[in-house]
Amino acid sequence: MSIISWNCHGLGLPTNVRFLKELVRQERPSYIFLCETIDNKGKIDWISKSLGFDGLVTVDAQGRSGGLALLWKEKDDVELRSFSRNHIDVEVAVEGKDRWRLTGVYGEPDRSQRRKTWDLLRNLARDSNLPWCVIGDMNNLISQKDKRGGALYPNWFLDGFNEVIIDTNLIDMELVGYQYTWERGKGTADWIEERLDRALTNAAWLDLFPMAKLYNLEDTSSDHCPIMLIPEEKMKCTGKRPFRFENAWLTEPMCRQLVVESWEENNMENIQQKVKLCGDNLEQWGHEVT
**Least confident segment among 90-99, 103-112, 158-167:** 90-99
Query: Looking at the structure, do residues 103 and 204 belong to the same domain, yes or no?
Result: yes
Nearest 5°: phi and psi at 85?
Answer: -70, -10
Q: Residue 237 above 60 pLDDT?
A: no
Q: Where are the beta strands (DSSP E) in 99-203?
A: 100-106, 132-137, 147-148, 171-172, 175-176, 182-184, 192-194, 197-201
Which residues constitute the domain of residue 40?
3-230
- Torsion, CA 134, CA 136, CA 137, CA 142, rounded to 10: 40
What pLDDT score was predicted for residue 97? 78
For residues 35-54, average pLDDT: 87
Query: Looking at the structure, do residues 10 and 55 belong to the same domain, yes or no?
Result: yes
* 69 against 253, higher pLDDT: 69
Query: Looking at the structure, do residues 48 and 184 belong to the same domain, yes or no?
Result: yes
- Predicted TM-score (pTM) of the model is 0.79
Cα separation, 31 vs 48, in Å, equals 11
Query: Looking at the structure, do residues 252 and 226 belong to the same domain, yes or no?
Result: no
**Least confident segment among 161-165, 201-205, 281-285:** 281-285
Q: Where do the H-state alpha helices sit in 53-184?
A: 114-125, 155-167
**Any idea what the CATH number is for the domain that residue 28 is in?**
3.60.10.10
Of 180, 200, 230, the domain-final residue: 230
Q: Residue 2 above 50 pLDDT?
A: yes
Of 182, 205, 230, the domain-final residue: 230
Q: 167-180 pLDDT, tens per residue?
A: 999 999 999 999 99
What pLDDT score was predicted for residue 121? 97
Query: Looking at the structure, do residues 163 and 282 belong to the same domain, yes or no?
Result: no
Query: Looking at the structure, do residues 223 and 281 belong to the same domain, yes or no?
Result: no
First-to-last alpha carbon distance for the chain, in angstroms, is 33
207 is a domain residue = yes
Query: Looking at the structure, do residues 17 and 124 belong to the same domain, yes or no?
Result: yes
